Amino acid sequence: MKKSIFIPLLLSLPISVMGIYAPVPDFEQGQTIILSLDVGGYYDTNIFGSPGVALAQEEESFVFQISPRAKFNLSLTEQSFIEVHYDLETQVFTDRPLSDDTLYNHEFFVKYSHTITEGVDFFITEELDLVDNPASTVVTGGQADQSYDANNFGFRIDAQVNETFQISGKYQNYRVQYDRTGLNSAGTSNIAELLDRQDNTIGVEARITSSERVSWTGEIRARDVNYDNDDANGSAGVGLLGVGDGVDDAKDNDSVFYIIGVDYKMNENTDVMVHAGAQDRDRTGVATSDSSFFYGDISVVNRYAENSHVTIGAQYDVKEPDDTATFLDAEAYSIFVNFQHALSGKTFITGSVTYEDAAFNARAGFTDIDEESVRFGLGLTYNVSEQLTLLFNYDYDNKSSDTPKREEDRSRFGVQARYAFGI
């Protein structure tokens, strides 16, 4: 599923090329085991997310999909609950030049929740993604094969000190490794040399409830990003530019976030959340290493009818670049809208629109650039019965850039049938 994520601790890499926009069926609630099978296909106008220039021409293909899924939910004790799911997505391309025409995406997820004592709960999450066909591609080097493995581990503990005060601690580790067998369009390196990394984030958050409608939050969060290859251009002789620059620790960076926020419940159907603060970022190995950035986000959620809701939000943040040889980081602001609208008890329209404007801060010897991107997804869901669902989807991605080779235009049209049953 393609998702619009509002306040990510770390970069999240979606694994499905075709967005599935569908509400959770009622019959799945309370089931211990849910098995399902999706069968269908989609047409993709740009399967590699190419800019359509030089050696990176757009390639289109029809893709057949079959996706079995298994979910497991169980209360182990009165204080403990576990949730497990496994998804296997098989995609068969009718036209995928110079590459395998059958690809597999695996997703394995576990969440364990436990109440230590009244008012004290902790949560452990583990997600492993083995991805042959990413939902979105990275620009670096024009490499067609961008398969990767990613692991995301999280821990959170919440303690309700009294009726108005709660304190939380959290930790997250994200690890991504790209396939090292594919060369870029210049034949000089694979993107694993530049992008393989590990992110560690740890934070403490306090929440004070001042009234039935208002609560205040304060958070300190530290993030450490370590790349496997610290040379900005990759290893000597195999970097994106054909040579390494001999500079170690040129990509690693540390950040500390100081954030305050307020959650306001306007009425029974509408919630407003606002957070603002600063990010102190240390770019290791860079002459002008220390920088301070503004951080902010706002979101409004409105549940305007039964099974119908809309979320509108905006965010300003600093993110890791997809071309570490050229850029230090990117300052980006984004706005988004997510919605679900019930046409009837069986039919839903769901969708997501995200606009992002990013300013990429260049390394010495390169030029800063600006980019704009729009991602749009729309789905129509019809529940034929409790077990059988039909899904129709459309996705559109567009990116314009000061550097033409970074641009992208891509559309996907799809239809699927899903059959699920509980045990």
- Is residue 18 assigned to a domain? no
Distance of alpha carbon 21 from alpha carbon 140, whole angstroms: 30
Q: How large is the C-alpha radius of gyration of the chain?
A: 22
pLDDT band at 324 (very low <50, low <70, confident <90, very high): confident
- The whole-model pTM stands at 0.83
Tokens of 260: 């305050």
232 has a pLDDT exceeding 70: no
Identify the pLDDT of residue 365.
85
153 has a pLDDT exceeding 50: yes
Comparing 57-71, 204-218, 265-279, the range with the smallest average pLDDT is: 57-71
Identify the pLDDT of residue 284.
65
Q: How confident is the model over 250-269, as pLDDT tens digits?
A: 788 899 999 999 999 999 99
- Is residue 338 assigned to a domain? yes
Distance of alpha carbon 113 from alpha carbon 407, whole angstroms: 43
Residue type at 54 in one-letter notation: A
- Is residue 226 assigned to a domain? yes
For 26, the 3-state DSSP assignment is helix
Mean pLDDT, rounded, for 298-324:
94
CA 319 to chain centre: 12
Look at the chain and report how many structural domains it folds into: 1
- Is residue 13 assigned to a domain? no
Comparing 242-251, 283-292, 413-422, the range with the smallest average pLDDT is: 242-251
- Is residue 185 assigned to a domain? yes
Identify the pLDDT of residue 138.
66
pLDDT band at 48 (very low <50, low <70, confident <90, very high): confident
Distances (CA, A) of 302 to 4, 177, 339, 419: 17, 39, 9, 31
- Of residues 16 and 256, which shows the higher confidence score? 256
CATH number, domain with residue 66: 2.40.160
Mean pLDDT, rounded, for 55-70:
87
- By the 8 A CB rule, do 402 and 413 touch? no
- Is residue 10 assigned to a domain? no
Give the chain's mean pLDDT: 85
pLDDT band at 136 (very low <50, low <70, confident <90, very high): low
DSSP 53: B
Return the closest-CA partner of residue 247 out of 286, 275, 274, 209: 286
- Is residue 363 assigned to a domain? yes
Q: How confident is the model over 164-182, as pLDDT tens digits?
A: 999 999 999 999 998 766 5
Identify the pLDDT of residue 273.
98
317 has a pLDDT exceeding 50: yes
163 burial type by CB count under 10 A (0-12 exposed, 13-18 middle, 19+ buried): exposed
- Is residue 66 assigned to a domain? yes
183 has a pLDDT exceeding 60: no
Mean pLDDT, rounded, for 227-255:
59
276 has a pLDDT exceeding 70: yes
| Long-range residue pairs from 393-397, CB within 8 A, at least 24 positions apart, any chain | 393/18, 393/19, 393/20, 393/21, 393/42, 395/2, 395/18, 395/19, 397/49, 397/136, 397/373
Distance of alpha carbon 23 from alpha carbon 283, whole angstroms: 42
Range of the domain at 398: 26-422
- Of residues 26 and 160, which shows the higher confidence score? 160
Share of the chain above pLDDT 90, in %: 63
